[in-house]
Amino acid sequence: MNNIHPTNIIANSAKIGNNVTIGAYNVIEDDVVIGNNVTIGNFNTIGQYTEIGDECNIVHNSSIGVIPQDKKFGGEKTKLVIGKRTVIREFVTLNRGTSATGVTIIGDDVLIMTGVHVAHDCIVGDNAILVNLVALGGHVEIGDWTILGGVSNVHQFCKIGKHVMLAANSKVVQDVPPYILAGKQPLRYAGINALGLSRRGFSDKDKSVIKKAYRYYFRSELNPSISLKKIKEEFQNNEHIDEIINFIEKSDRGII
């Protein structure tokens, strides 16, 4: 049974699942899909074509899935897709995609804190945390389990790998490879995210191998191409090292 306050404006074409609670003064536009067991607070706008997964919690005063801030946008049908069990706090803006990709994606079990902005065509991985006032430019990709410190800004088209922890007030203008801590200005490598990796079941051996690989890449006097070649030769058939190599080789903006 749903609990929907009578002050809401809900389009006839919106599809609302079971056991959904919607507070006062929300606007839910055409072709929105809301899953089961979702809670929506007060004074939110849920834009056209937005899809919200089961058990999400959207608190108050947010703009979810409205049109992108992109001058090239021509009103085409694009989406914002939010995974299951994601929490969205107050004053968040999440834009839907453009024709470039067609969709902005927020994964499962994501925590999006107060004042965060996620622009068009972004991908935010599962279990990520975007702390207060983080801003993502268009086409940004955030890996699973990554934490972005408060008031951090990510330039459009940048990628941040899995299990990264980013310091508060970070300015990201190049790609941040997986498993690391990064901070300071300009943004730089500050070691591996050992505590986060331990909490997620990485063994001491896993962490040691990752740390040694990054010692070659960031701490040695070798240039990046030679250090990457050395990593490939020394750490063969290791899934975590393969993740690092693939990330670096696919980087378009360069590595911090």
- 228: enclosing H helix or E strand: helix 224-234
Per annotation, catalytic residue among 121, 126, 175, 206: 121
Longest Cα–Cα distance of the chain, Å, equals 66
Which residues are CB-neighbours of 69 under 8 A, at least 6 positions away?
95, 119, 120
**Active-site residue flag, 242:** no
Sign of the dihedral defined by the CA atoms of residues 96, 100, 103, 104, in that order: negative
Per annotation, catalytic residue among 115, 138, 143, 196: 138
The region that residue 216 occupies, defined by phi over 0 for left and psi between -120 and 50 for alpha, beta otherwise, is alpha
**Active-site residue flag, 139:** no
Which residues are CB-neighbours of 137 under 8 A, at least 6 positions away?
119, 153, 154, 155, 156, 157, 158
**Active-site residue flag, 204:** no
Per annotation, catalytic residue among 60, 117, 120, 139: 120
Catalytic residue annotation: 120-121, 138
